[in-house]
Amino acid sequence: MQFHLNGFKPGDPDISEPAGQGAAPLADALPGEVDILIVGSGPTGLTLATQLAAFPDLRTCIVEQKPGPLRLGQADGIACRTVEMFEAFDFSQRVLKEAYWVNETSFWKPDDAQRDQIVRSGRIQDTEDGLSEFPHVILNQARVHDFYLDVMRNAPSRLEPHYSRRLLDLAVAESPAGGAPTHPVTARFERTDPGHEGQVETVRARFAVGCDGAHSAVRKSLGRALHGESANQAWGVMDVLAVTDFPDIRIKSAIHSASEGSVLIIPREGGYLVRLYIELDKLNENERVASRQITSDRLIAAAQRILRPYTLDVKEVAWWSVYEIGQRLCDKFDDVPEQEEHARLPRVFIAGDACHTHSPKAGQGMNVSMQDGFNLGWKLAAVLRGQSTPQILHTYSKERQTVAKELIDFDREFAKMFSAAPKDPSRDDSEGIDPAEFQRYFVKQGRFTAGTETRYYPSVISAEPTHQELARGLVIGMRFHSAPVIRLADAKPMHLGHAVKADGRWRVFAFADAADPAAPSAAIGELCRFLAESSQSPIRKYTPAGADVDAVIDVRAVFQQGHRALALEAMPAFLQPRKGRYGLIDYEKMFCPDLKGGQDIFDLRGIDRRRGCVVIVRPDQYVAHVLPLDAHAELAGFFDGFMVEAG
């Protein structure tokens, strides 16, 4: 797509003026009691709210201090793993249509012959082949918000944020002798919208989540703080429409000058807009960047000096800001002290910038923050709907705090290398960084920045890797790495991972052995009979009476044979379940390798062809367990560890 040609305009590029202002903010009073209260409608809060909007039996309320939806956002980098998550929410294609695709990255250094000018030192593929079916893309944060809001409005609960509410205080009631209160969290909000200024509203909730940014009032109410340090380095960032002879202006470019600092160029969506991250002066100890009174003209001048011998004529500044590099982390992401976890359940959580902050240049902030919301949403829903024991809520802080710590360690090193002056090859005593070393570091960390290296360690919902050799490419604790398949019933080519939607359900993928799946003694048939008939089957134990058979755990099978070699009518009846009021057959449970395309999922993901395997996938797309096809008791035991039997 191309847009912004005649000036920057926020919003949906498919909507012509004067439309596209979005839904009017809710003017209704806040509900008195809710199941989940979300404070903050940034990307973290909206990810969480969109997940919870899928459950009409849960009452969710999302509250925002700003007067309406975001029109211009700061964040713009969307990692491959995040687009995979967007696919689960069914708006990945909207993102891909509008976004700039980061296909390559170029590196620029001082010219050895003329140190006050820059030359290209390298150009590489941005992400390695096969890392994800989706690219690394760039899109304004406000558009991501728009997509989430659209899904929320169309979800069963028809959820909308309440704007113009400032959190005054939040408290959690202690459990009285007679038992715990049903809605122990109390939050008070002050309205700031015209006609209601100063009105105070009180909401009681079963759980609350602070997604209210680095200055989080929810975090402060818990007595928690962000710990870390500042690098005492100022940077500017601006989105501009400009005319330039710099040849890589539509390529992501990392530029180190000899003495004027560094610039990171990020082309933006629409074909014309570009973002510049511009290194500014070092700050003194305890000095704040605001005291420098930096202007947009100063940022432009700095970029022009760094880009020499190329010119940069800025025609319009769509947005700009200045910031300080700093990495800070909260020691826990909920309200329960570590020593009390055995006796207390968390009632208040913090997510996103409320519990971890870092520099924006690695493009990780919004991505990691949204994954916080995705990690927590299905757990809250499972507990509130009586499907899982409340103990799974302890895993949120454990899993996401570890990820945030890894991000901050990476960001500290990446920011340090980016701000370092390049070495002068003509001087033996020259300090600084070798540009080739920076490029090697960028390549080495490619999987991390793509978001695909996150790994959750063993817990009640992430098993030990006892049988990992059965599926070496589907690592327990890491995201389910999708691969092409052919759906058996209609020969549709698709990605297997796209069957995992953000609906709170667990997935069980049964990868069959090489035997004929229609044979009476086939292992896949034995597994289906166990799941359909045994009293120990997690399907029978945890699916509510009257619900569809896949309402809680969705079982699908992948066969080794080509799709034309199998007869649909000979496949196990369990894989053709009858659902809904009419008992219609669901034909979308069985898949075969994409043999015509030469991308056999068994080879791509290292699945043992002789034995096959079972891969259990969490509702947030992470692999929870890998088991032999005949390990029926182990399969049941895994779910028995945290699921609540249906009444």
**Do 476 and 580 share a structural domain?**
yes
**Do 375 and 510 share a structural domain?**
no
Q: What is the mean pLDDT of residues 550-560?
A: 98
**Do 233 and 210 share a structural domain?**
no
**Do 483 and 439 share a structural domain?**
no
pLDDT digits (tens, 9 = 90+) for 36-85: 999 999 999 999 999 999 999 999 999 999 999 998 877 789 999 999 99
Whether 181 and 175 have beta carbons less than 8 Å apart is answered as yes
The catalytically annotated residue of 268, 328, 347, 487 is 268
**For residues 28 and 171, which has the higher predicted lDDT (pLDDT)?**
171
Q: What is the mean pLDDT of residues 185-213?
A: 97
The catalytically annotated residue of 161, 267, 360, 619 is 360
User: Catalytic: 277?
Assistant: yes
**Do 233 and 213 share a structural domain?**
no
11 within domain boundaries:
no
- Calpha distance 142→78 (Å, rounded): 13
CB contact set of 45 (below 8 Å; sequence gap of 6+): 38, 39, 62, 64, 209, 211, 212, 351, 352, 373
- Calpha distance 221→224 (Å, rounded): 8
Would you mind telling me the total number of residues written for the chain in this entry? 647
- Calpha distance 118→111 (Å, rounded): 5
- Burial degree of 192 (CB within 10 A; 0-12, 13-18, 19+): middle
What is the model's pTM?
Answer: 0.93
- Report how many helices (DSSP H) and strands (DSSP E) the chain contains, helices first: 14, 26
**Do 603 and 499 share a structural domain?**
yes
5 within domain boundaries:
no
**Do 494 and 624 share a structural domain?**
yes
Q: What is the DSSP string of 295-326?
A: -HHHHHHHHHHHTTTS-EEEEEEEEEEEEEEE
Q: Supply the pLDDT for residue 361.
A: 60
485 within domain boundaries:
yes
19 within domain boundaries:
no
**Do 490 and 611 share a structural domain?**
yes
**Do 154 and 181 share a structural domain?**
yes
With 50 as the cut, is the pLDDT of residue 20 above it?
no
- Calpha distance 218→346 (Å, rounded): 14
Q: What is the mean pLDDT of the chain?
A: 92
- Calpha distance 554→577 (Å, rounded): 11
Structural domain of residue 302, as residue ranges? 228-325+406-449
**Do 633 and 490 share a structural domain?**
yes
125 within domain boundaries:
no
pLDDT digits (tens, 9 = 90+) for 474-511: 999 999 999 999 999 999 999 999 999 999 999 999 99
How do strand 33-39 and strand 200-210 relate by DSSP bridges?
A: parallel
Q: CATH no. for residue 298?
A: 3.30.9.10
**For residues 618 and 581, which has the higher predicted lDDT (pLDDT)?**
618
**Do 176 and 66 share a structural domain?**
yes
530 within domain boundaries:
yes
DSSP 8-state code for residue 422 = B
Q: CATH no. for residue 185?
A: 3.50.50.60
The catalytically annotated residue of 272, 277, 396, 542 is 277
**Do 361 and 474 share a structural domain?**
no
User: Catalytic: 268?
Assistant: yes
213 within domain boundaries:
yes
CB contact set of 451 (below 8 Å; sequence gap of 6+): 79, 80, 81, 82, 364, 367, 368, 371
Q: Supply the pLDDT for residue 293.
A: 80
**For residues 429 and 144, which has the higher predicted lDDT (pLDDT)?**
144
Count: domains in the chain: 3
Q: CATH no. for residue 554?
A: 3.40.30.20
**Cis before 517 (ω within 30):** no
117 within domain boundaries:
no
Q: Is 452 helix (H, G, I), strand (E, B) or coil?
A: coil
Q: Supply the pLDDT for residue 19.
A: 33
